[in-house]
């Protein structure tokens, strides 16, 4: 039986990865470099008891490590 908390975290990490892929491509960061950074930083939180904010923390640390800027989605007024 799967753990709902882990399933939610996996979904959050997948969404985060998609956001980072676009920004990494814009910045010229190769996908393997991005993947390695995500895996490395996510592993640092492997023993965390509270997982609610792991995806946010990982995204922030990956952006800092790879010097990626966030590009907000285009919004129609």
28: domain range?
4-66
Between 17 and 5, where is the model more confident? 17
Helix, strand and coil in the chain, % to nearest 5: 65, 0, 35
* Residue 9, domain member (yes or no): yes
pLDDT at position 77 over 70? no
Residue 72 lies in a domain: no
Per-residue pLDDT tens for 29-61? 999 999 999 999 999 999 999 999 999 999 999
73 located within any domain: no
Q: Do the domain assignments include residue 71?
A: no
* Residue 76 located in a structural domain: no
- pLDDT confidence of residue 72: 62
Count of the separate structural domains present in the chain: 1
**Inside any domain, residue 43:** yes
- For residue 66 the two structure tokens come to 């790879």
pLDDT at 31: 97
Q: What is the pLDDT of residue 3?
A: 76
Q: b/e for 33-63, b at 16 or more Cβ within 10 A?
A: ebeebbeebbeebeeeeeeeebbeebbebbb
């Amino acid at each position: 039986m799967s753990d709902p908390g882990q399933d939610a975290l996996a979904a959050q990490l997948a969404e985060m990865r998609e956001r980072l892929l676009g920004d990494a491509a814009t910045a010229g960061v190769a996908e393997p470099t991005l993947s390695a950074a995500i895996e490395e930083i996510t592993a640092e939180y492997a023993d965390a008891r509270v997982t609610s904010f792991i995806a946010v923390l990982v995204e922030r640390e990956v952006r800092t490590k790879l010097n990626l800027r966030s590009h907000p989605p285009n919004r129609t007024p």
